[in-house]
Amino acid sequence: MRGTSWSRLVSTARRFGWWRWAVVAAVVAVLASLPGLIAALPAHPAPVSLATLADRIRASDRQPYQGFALSSGTAGLPSLPQLSDVVAVLDGETHLRAFYAGPRQWRVDQLGVGTERDLYQVVGGQILWDFGTNQITDLIGDPPIRLPRGADFLPPDLARRLLGAVVPAGANGTDPNGTVRSADSPEKSPSSVIEALPPRRVAGIAAAGLRLRPTDPEASLAHVDIWAEPNSGLPVQVEITGRGQSVPVLVTRFLDLSLTAPDPAQVEPPPGGPGVGLNVTNANDLTQAFSSLQLGPLPNALGRAARVTNSAATTVGAGLYGTGFTQFLVIPVPRNVGFDAYDRAKKAGGKQITYPGGFGMQLSTPLLSLFVLNSRQARRNYILVGLVDPAVLQRAAAELVTFTGGRR
């Protein structure tokens, strides 16, 4: 009798457990589908001309907000030395929680399974709190150049950077040269066209859309789609599609969003305390450390691309070449870093290129082109990277491989 009762109890518990987890699974499925369901609702944003929307997006850093965003990337990059965090953002899902009071006061949490990194923007620098290592890093000043991080992939920041790559529009719907645009005509710059997109509902907001389409055939981007809240211009979703691709390589969007300023306590950095590690880094020290490597000069131009003389990359010995969406970066690196990057690019399916004065490894993805160059003639190593056609980096490498002098 007792055995029978126990069997019935176990059977009932199993049925209850199955039912309970079925309910949990159903709830999770519903929550996961909410962004799609919300996006399917009709969107009727306030009327706004294309030129005005572009201008408002460029100036949207004045709009405070709080929200949760998801960035999904399929860039197809290999694991490169010292770049694992960047590759993870471009080749996976990144969960971001943002509290934005203004350009000089915000906080972005990058969330993972059992990990959390909170980045605070404060007057005079930034503070990073890594919960996993219980470590606080205080960065004093603004470094002239740095690697991308999770906060850069929030829709507002990413959209403003991409839109800033084209010639900014003037006020009142005029081009920088004063030419008046009609409300329904594309906004043009020397290297791109901005076209209207149908509205879309994102995080409950009826957002107006625009498409940024590079016209230079050497750009690897086919188009960048941006949806923004029309009154403030705050971007709520960004999709980047590579040339020849049918689906976006990178999508970042808000799942939840409030256009209100966060509580001041939310953007107040952690005080630290016993048991919490503390590192202090000065941006000037980083610049001096890069400069002290003395990895060699770079030419004034590579191929048809002139070096950008006022680029922050110059202060750390790197070189930025070209304009708009066909810019690429040339980074002189120590030999051990260069050969490590070469091997990793080769294992990821790279193509070897041989020159009279050296050799290189080319790796192309739907979004980025990468070239690791070893110059036997100059006894130097370089990494070239950009949102460009692979042929652009091949031409640049062919000239760089024999370069031995010139200005830094």
| Alpha helix positions (H), 41-119 | 50-58, 84-90
**If pLDDT is split at 50, 70 and 90, which confidence band does 186 have?**
low
**If pLDDT is split at 50, 70 and 90, which confidence band does 19 have?**
very low
Distance (Å) of CA 311 to CA 214, 317, 381, 384: 22, 11, 21, 16
Q: What percent of the chain has pLDDT over 70?
A: 72
Q: Please count the CA atoms within 13 angstroms of the CA of 90 that sit on its side-chain side.
A: 19
In total, the chain counts a number of residues equal to 408
Domain coordinates in residue numbering, the chain: 50-267, 293-400
Could you tell me the two tokens for 342? 């070469």
Could you tell me the two tokens for 404? 């031995």
Distance (Å) of CA 171 to CA 56, 184, 191: 10, 16, 20
Q: Which parts of 308-350 are beta strand (E)? A: 319-321, 328-333
Could you tell me the two tokens for 144? 């002239």
Averaged pLDDT, 120-129? 88
Averaged pLDDT, 51-58? 94
Averaged pLDDT, 197-220? 93
Pick the most confident of 74-88, 159-173, 279-293, 339-353.
339-353
Unique residue bearing structure tokens 């055939």? 217
- Residue 25 pLDDT exceeds 60: no
Q: Per-residue pLDDT tens for 294-311?
A: 567 899 999 889 999 877
**If pLDDT is split at 50, 70 and 90, which confidence band does 172 have?**
very low
Prediction pTM value: 0.77
Options 3.30.70, 1.20.120, 1.20.140, 3.40.1000; CATH of 293-400? 3.40.1000
Averaged pLDDT, 336-363? 90
CATH fold, domain 50-267, is outer membrane lipoprotein receptor (LolB), chain A (2.50.20)
Q: Which neighbouring-strand residues pair with 218?
A: none
Q: What amino acid is encoded at 188 in this protein?
A: K
- Residue 91 pLDDT exceeds 70: no
Distance (Å) of CA 142 to CA 104, 146, 268, 397: 12, 9, 19, 31
